[in-house]
Each structure stands twice: as C-alpha cells, then as structure tokens.
Chains A and B, each alone.
Chain A
Amino acid sequence: MLYKKSNTSIILNIFKKYPLAFFHFLSEKKIWIALAAVCLSLEAQIIAIGKIRWEIDILALFLCTWPLLDPPIYL
C-alpha cells in the first residue's frame, strides 16, 4: 500500500524547517502550492491549483515585496 505523506504534513514540515527562509523559496512551485493550501485552508492538490491561481498571485505579490522592505534576519 502506497505511503504518501499528506500535503498538509509536508507544508508544516517546510515551515518548521525554514521559518525564516520561507520567503526566500516563494518562487519555487512547492511553496506556491503550500501557500495556497495554508492561506485557503485547503489540502494542496495539484488539480486545484488552476482554480485558485488568482488568489495565490495576489497573496504572493504581497509576500514577495514585504521582505524587501523588512529583510528576514538570515539575509
């Protein structure tokens, strides 16, 4: 039987592992999915991405610009 970690679990682990570097990885697809899942309280499903693209873009724009004004410590 296939073992597959739940998407929610993967996302939480990423946040736990990279609390500050989170924004740095925004451009990576996985984080886009993670972001969508957390912000919209959904389990990230590839199939759903198309449907929530617009919401991700607005939120990502905000999160991409914000660290430039107030850079995380690790930078």
Chain B
Amino acid sequence: MTQEILGQKELDFLQKYLDNHSPTGFEAEGQKLWVDYIRPFVDTWELDDYGTAFGIVNPGKDFKVVVEGHADEISWFVNYIGDDGYIQVIRNGGSDHIIAPSMRVVLHGKNGLVPGVFGWPAIHTRIGKDENLAPTIENIFIDLGVSSKDEVLALGIEIGTVVTYTDGFMRIGENYIAGRALDNRIGGFCIAQVARLLKENQISLPFSLYFVNAVQEEIGLRGAEMIAHRIKPNAAIITDVTHDTRSPLMNPKAKGDIKCGLGPTITTAPAVHRVLYNLLDKTAQENSIPLQKEASSRSTGTDTDAFAYSNEGVPSALISLPLKYMHTTVEMAHIKDIENLIKLIYYAVQKIEYKHNFKYF
C-alpha cells in the first residue's frame, strides 16, 4: 500500500515506542522516548509531577488547544508471594485474566526486569470438576522458575512490583500492525506525527497548541484530570482506540458498527461538544478523510470525559482508532486508519480559530 504519512522512520519509532514498557503509574521510560521524538517539532515541553508530558507549539497565547493521547498500558501488580515462590496478581488497569495463562511477562523488580510466565495446568490434568477450569483473577499465577519466597525476594520482587507482557510490535498482512499497548500509545504516536507535520509544513497557528501524552488513563482518566486543571485549555481533541465490532464474537448491533480500515471514528456523547464534533466532521468531508461514527451512553471511557468536565467545562471531542482485540497482547490496527486519524487532527487544528466560538447559540 502507499503510505502517505508514515515512512520507515516513523514506523521504526512506533515499534520502539510500542515495545517499551510503560505500565500505569510507571510511564517514565515511554515518556522519555516520546519526549525525545517530539522535541524537535515543538517550541517547548514540560512534565508534570505524575509523569504526564506535553509539548507546546506557540506557547504563551491566551487561547489554548490540547490534542491528547494517553501513555500508559494495562499491567498487573504482584499481590501475594507464596512460600513455594508462585505469585498471585491483581490488576493495574483493565487487564484480562482470560488471556493470562501461558503468557510471558517481565516483572519490574528493584534490580531490573525479571522474566516470568503465567503458568496453567495441562489439559491432560483438567479432569472431573476441573474439566472446564477457566482462568480467573483468583487462580492465575506467575512462575519465576524458583521454588521459594526467599528466592523471589532475592530477585528484587516484592509486593507491588509491576508486571507487563513481553509481546511486541509486528507487521501483519499488508495493512495491519499488531502489538501490545496500541491502547493507547498509538494515540501518543499520532499526536507526535501531527506535531511533525505542522513543523515540516511550517503551519502557523493563532493559539497555543499542546500535545499532551497523559498518564494513568487505564485506571480512571487520572492523568488527564490532573493535566486539564494545569493547562486549563479552551478546547481539547482527544484520541484513543475503539472496538472493531466486525471481528468474530463481537456484536455490532450492541456495540456500534465499526470496522478497521474504514477510517477513524468520531463519537457522539454528552461530554463531546457539538461544535467541535461538527468541526471534525466537516474537516473529514473537506479533506476526503473516511470517517466512522459511534455513540456512547453517559461517558466515553476516555480522557475526553476528564477534559470535558474539568475546570469550568472544556469543549472536547473524541477521535478513535478502530482496534481489534483490545486489552490483549495482539491488538491490531489498520495502518490507513492511523494515517487518516493523523490527517484528521492535522487539518482540524488548522480549522480552529483564535478564541473560537463554542457557544451553542
């Protein structure tokens, strides 16, 4: 396929960025990579105390627009270490216990990364009442290849050690990428590409544009809550992922009809400001960007909610990347959708005016 925006250099950064480990609450390594990448394309950058990083184009203006993604990935915490050395975990974000057995992990110990596996009893041994044994948060366990609690502790593992999967980036088919934590490092990647394109094309904007890579989304939109109060933006465009509902076992009637390859989505929800939504819709039409639409009851489940309901209310909108198999280690996205999402933000920020009127009437 012809890649209009993403060349090998950009895909190399994407691979590096996706393959790093940035679990919720421990995003620093990923943020360093992101800041290093975006630094040439912005005038300045900052970091808040919890790790949210943001680059600013045109700093100091009295009208501020945010484009945002979140930097963190779901993971596990060590919660119990048995005398026999087996480890029980609890969630750090919406980690899926169903997919845990047989996965390879790394534990972020005091002395560095320690490899481990989620073990599981063999099919041969699951007989009688155990024939339909299924993974639950209570019965999954990590094996570090040791035989006592003391050995686990000696490896630098303790209660609270964070655990991530090892699966990394891969190209799959002609049009897809797959990997861990596309939710939502792909958002941080996309807004970084917008910054790059604005710089390369020497686009000047009449307002301060903030590229925000927020932490702690997966446990309740917390990084966005914090940074929204700090920046106090006048408008925010959030980017996250959404479900491809045309893959097996999904229900488009219940979850909305979204398919990878048909473009990014924009969402209607109470938190989504209609003026900004319409601006995105019009931008897509004017630039022939394919777009899908979805609706959310009550909340969007993204940082859009955090920005919209912060301060005295911030006009916010959500652009999502269709994704297959969310919160697994093989999240899949269509490259053309990624490019179109970047284009949509790139053109949309150019349509926002200084002191844009967001009043409904």
Contacts and interface: CB of A to CB of B under 8 A. Distances in A.
Interface of A: 1-4
Contacts of A1: 183-184, 240-242, 301-302, 320, 326
**In terms of DSSP, what is the predominant structure of the interface of chain A?**
loop
B302 A2 contact: yes
A3 B220 contact: no
Interface string B212-228: 00000111110000000
Interface residues of B, number: 18
B82 interface: no
B93 interface: yes
Nearest to A45: B298
A2 B220 contact: yes
Interface in B273-324: 301-302, 320
**In terms of DSSP, what is the predominant structure of the interface of chain B?**
loop
Given A1-B301, A2-B94, A4-B301, 11 more contacts: A1-B184, A1-B241, A1-B242, A1-B302, A2-B220, A2-B221, A2-B302, A3-B301, A3-B327, A4-B94, A4-B220
A72 to B, nearest CB: 24
A72 B148 CA distance: 41
B94 to A, nearest CB: 3
A3 B242 CA distance: 12
A41 B53 CA distance: 43
Interface of B: 74, 93-94, 183-184, 217-221, 240-242, 301-302, 320, 326-327
19 contacts: A1-B183, A1-B184, A1-B240, A1-B241, A1-B242, A1-B301, A1-B302, A1-B320, A1-B326, A2-B94, A2-B217, A2-B219, A2-B220, A2-B221, A2-B302, A3-B74, A3-B94, A4-B220, A4-B301
Contacts of B93: 3
B25 to A, nearest CB: 15
Nearest to A5: B94
Contacts of B302: 1-2
Contacts of B241: 1
B317 to A, nearest CB: 16
Contacts of B74: 3
A3 B302 CA distance: 9
A37 to B, nearest CB: 14
- A-B complex: 10 closest residue pairs judged by Cβ atoms: A3-B94, A2-B301, A1-B240, A1-B241, A1-B301, A1-B183, A1-B302, A2-B218, A2-B221, A3-B327
A10 B86 CA distance: 28
Contacts of A2: 94, 217-221, 301-302
A17 to B, nearest CB: 11
B22 to A, nearest CB: 16
Contacts of A4: 94, 220, 301
Nearest to B94: A3
Chain B CB count within 10 A is highest, among A1, A3, A4, for: A1
A1 B326 CA distance: 8
A4 B320 CA distance: 18
A3 B301 CA distance: 7
A1 B94 CA distance: 9
A4 B74 CA distance: 13
A49 B240 CA distance: 31
Contact of A3 (B184, B218, B320): B218
Nearest to B220: A2
A5 B118 CA distance: 24
A70 B302 CA distance: 47
A49 B218 CA distance: 26
B196 to A, nearest CB: 25
A60 B320 CA distance: 43
A2 B222 CA distance: 11
Contacts of A3: 74, 93-94, 218, 301, 327
Contacts of B184: 1
B133 to A, nearest CB: 18
